Amino acid sequence: MSIYTDLNLRKLFIYQVYTRNHTEEGTFKALIDDLDRIKAMDVDVIYLLPIHEIGEKNRKGTLGSPYAIKDYYSINKEHGDLEDFKALVSAVKERNMKIILDVVFNHTSPDSVLINTHPEFFYRNKEGQFANRVGDWWDIKDFDYAKDKRLYQTLIDVLLYWTNLGIDGFRFDVASVLPLDFLQEAHAAVKRVNPNTLWISESVHGHFLKHIRDQGYIGLSESEIFQVFDIAYDYDTHPEFEAYLKGEGPLNDYAEAVMRQEFTYPQNYIKMRNLENHDFGRIAKFVNGDQDKLLNWHAFNFFNRGATMIFSGTEFSNAHHPSLFDKDTISRDGKDLQNFFKNLSKLAKNDIYAKGTYDLKAQNDTLIGTYQYLAQKSVGIFNVGNAKGRVKVPLADGTYLNQVNDQNITVKNGEINLEKTPIIIQM
């Protein structure tokens, strides 16, 4: 992360799309037709999962994983052609949004263009066979960055190609396993073409990072990641988050994990907050469809320090996690949260959330967050456990307006009665 990283990136609302399953058609043209609806939620960035031709060898499922890429310069014909993609880029920009691509530079499909033209770029096991370092990723073969530095420029050229087509940024798959010097060189090359390119890291869980390092492979810490990337996934808090959702750990552990980020990372660190994504299951399923818990978690996700991402279908309370490897169209039949997200996104664009000091505590299955910025103060109270009773809040006694539902909240003796509705108070 550069010292010049703009704190306003914490205000971003990012919408993740898997083109194949976003619509029945699964095409760029169908996505264009849906952009006005997406924009109406106050979305800032469209983030596309990989759009390239998928390898045919060792495919997972019937259609294969978009992360087993055959050719970085190609377009998956399921989605359309290059002209359709260019039309999508233009349509996104016409609506004053940005568009970013998922780039997968740890590996390719076993039958990729590069494995055939540059076998020297790839990792081989002790038997001399092309292989991968993680056992269950059996549909891909890993690069070996230490073998031939020409790989660096080969992949940088890919980034420059898509940047010149109008792409506004990149989300790097498993960025923690890529060499830091490669990332720095690539970052500098892309920034020379577009200084405003957004760089997002899928930095991995701590236990996975240790597993990689224990095998003698590259494993970048979050501190190293932030030397290059503007935004990083918040997987460092995920073990505590997931433990609470599964009833295996206290909420306070999660709140403390979030707070550790405030003194562990650079002062202008930015996390991409997401309750679900193409890898991690739907939050609606984790809360067993409890609408009150769902609304509280979503409200907290926007309130929490950092950019916010939702996965296509989240806005319809979708509990089914779509397959990466098959046609599995996202349902829009659930509870509609689009206006809810729109209001939260507009609230989260206040400077206090990007630039204020932040504190978060857990009390009685409730997350209580506070921001202070200049003369402003914001307090969020999120009853994610559907608890009852009273909780202490950092507010003077009096009556306040809940910005979430425009209802009054009374503070008496420094406490409030817990409600099922999330509470955000701005002063």
Contact 224, 175 (CB under 8 A): no
Q: Are 110 and 55 in contact (CB under 8 A)?
A: yes
Rounded Cα distance between 251 and 393, Å, is 17
Span of 218-227, 230-239, 269-278, 384-393 with lowest mean pLDDT: 218-227
- 42 or 2: which carries more pLDDT confidence? 42
For the stretch 388-415, pLDDT in tens is 999 999 999 999 999 999 999 999 999 9
Q: Which amino acid is at 60?
A: K
Q: For the residues 155-164, what does the mean pLDDT come to?
A: 98
Is residue 232 within 8 A of residue 201, CB to CB? The reply is: yes
212: left (phi over 0), alpha (psi -120 to 50) or beta: alpha
DSSP, collapsed to helix, strand or coil, labels residue 112 as coil
Mean pLDDT for 19-45 is: 98
* Virtual torsion, Cα 73, 75, 76, 79, nearest 10 deg: 160
Residues of the chain with CATH 3.20.20.80: 7-349
Give me the mean pLDDT over the 125-132 stretch.
91
Give the bridge partners for 371, in sequence order: 358, 378
Give residue-wise pLDDT tens across range 175-202: 999 999 999 999 999 999 999 999 999 9
Residue 206 in this model has a pLDDT that exceeds 90: no
Closest CA to 394 of 364, 422, 369, 420: 369
Q: What is the pLDDT of residues 225-262, one digit of tens each?
A: 999 999 999 999 999 999 999 999 999 999 999 999 99
Q: Is 340 exposed, middle or buried (0-12, 13-18, 19+ CB in 10 A)?
A: buried
Q: Classify residue 211 as exposed, middle or buried by CB count within 10 Å of its CB (0-12, 13-18, 19+).
A: middle
pLDDT at 2 over 70: no
Considering only residues 134 and 52, tell me which one the structure prediction assigns the higher pLDDT. 52
Query: In the chain, which segments carry CATH 2.60.40.1180?
Result: 355-427
**Pairing assessment for the beta strands 169-172 and 141-142 based on DSSP bridges:** unpaired
Q: Characterize the bridge pairing of strands 141-142 and 107-108.
A: antiparallel
Quote the pLDDT of residue 361: 97
**For residue 199, what are its two tokens?**
């760089």
C-alpha distances (whole Å) from 86 to each of 27, 29, 75, 92, 242 are 13, 10, 11, 10, 38
Token pair for 367: 């997350």
Question: Percentage of the chain surpassing pLDDT 70?
Answer: 99
pLDDT 10s digits, 69-95: 999 999 999 999 999 999 999 999 999
Q: Under CATH, what is the fold of the domain 355-427?
A: Immunoglobulin-like (2.60.40)
Query: What is the per-residue pLDDT for 135?
Result: 65
pLDDT value of position 3: 53
Q: How far is CA 21 from CA 78, 107, 180, 224, in A?
A: 11, 23, 34, 34
The fourth-level CATH superfamily of domain 7-349 is Glycosidases (3.20.20.80)
Secondary structure class of 57 (helix, strand, coil) = coil
Q: What is the DSSP string of 162-217?
A: HHHTT--EEEETTGGGS-HHHHHHHHHHHHHH-TT-EEEE-PPPHHHHHHHHHTT-
Under the banding of pLDDT at 50, 70 and 90, the label for residue 211 is confident
Smallest CA-to-CA distance from 236 within 177, 294, 324, 176 is with: 176
**Strands across the sheet containing 357-363:** 357-363, 366-373, 376-382, 423-426
- Give the pLDDT confidence score for residue 1 in this predicted structure: 52
